[in-house]
């Protein structure tokens, strides 16, 4: 069931500095499922198991997303607000082996950003500053999360040099 879901996070949501990484991951579940069913009925416990976080963090994330007018709750469950705004952007996709692994939530988002270019084959060469801007986080966070991704085997190539850096993600097949 859960292994078939690929999180989808639009750039508009990804770059919001008012949202925490867990908020963005929870949004990714709602967005992916809303594209299939139009709504999400997963419990906080189910979403928490998928993301490897505490159910209370899911509840807080959903409250933050409602306050940001990104989702709303109705009789069907949770639905995406302003879905049409995201159609022309470069979304990031995060596969189950990544979002279910015990990584920092920001590292999971960063893997999605790197993979949006790399796809396990090509080199991602954008600066840390660009990546930080895309994710709405600090450059220091990008550095720490990149090191974690490499250490945990989610990057097959990670080189830094005076001209920049070269990153290739580990490849996962979408279900």
Fold match between domain 2-86 and domain 103-169: yes
How many angstroms separate the CA atoms of 24 and 15, rounded?
9
Contacts of 66 (CB under 8 A, 6+ apart): 72, 73
| % of the chain beyond a pLDDT of 90 | 61
**CATH code for residues 103-169:** 1.10.10.10
Q: Which fold has domain 2-86?
A: Arc Repressor Mutant, subunit A (1.10.10)
- Give the per-residue pLDDT at 49: 93
Residue ranges covered by each domain of the chain: 2-86, 103-169
What is the rounded average pLDDT for all residues in the chain?
Answer: 87
Average pLDDT over residues 44-53: 94
Token pair recorded at residue 3? 């292994």
Is residue 1 over pLDDT 90?
A: no
Instruction: Assign 83 a pLDDT band (cuts: 50, 70, 90).
Output: low
Contact 124, 168 (CB under 8 A): yes
């Amino acid at each position: 069931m859960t292994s078939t879901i690929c999180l989808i996070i639009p750039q508009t949501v990804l770059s919001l500095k008012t949202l925490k990484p867990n908020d963005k991951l929870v949004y990714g579940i709602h967005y992916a499922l809303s594209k299939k069913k139009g709504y999400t009925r997963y419990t906080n416990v189910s979403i928490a198991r998928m993301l490897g976080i505490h159910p209370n963090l899911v509840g807080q994330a959903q409250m933050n997303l409602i306050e940001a007018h990104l989702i709303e709750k109705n009789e069907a469950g949770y639905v995406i607000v302003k879905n049409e705004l995201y159609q022309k952007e470069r979304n990031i996709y995060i596969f189950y082996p990544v979002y279910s692994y015990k990584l920092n939530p920001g590292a999971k988002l960063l893997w999605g950003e790197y993979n949006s270019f790399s796809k396990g084959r090509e080199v991602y060469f954008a600066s840390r500053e660009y990546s930080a801007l895309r994710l709405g986080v600090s450059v220091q966070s990008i550095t720490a999360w990149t090191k974690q991704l490499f250490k945990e085997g989610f990057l097959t190539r990670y080189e830094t040099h005076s001209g920049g850096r070269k990153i290739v993600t580990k490849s996962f097949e979408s279900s």
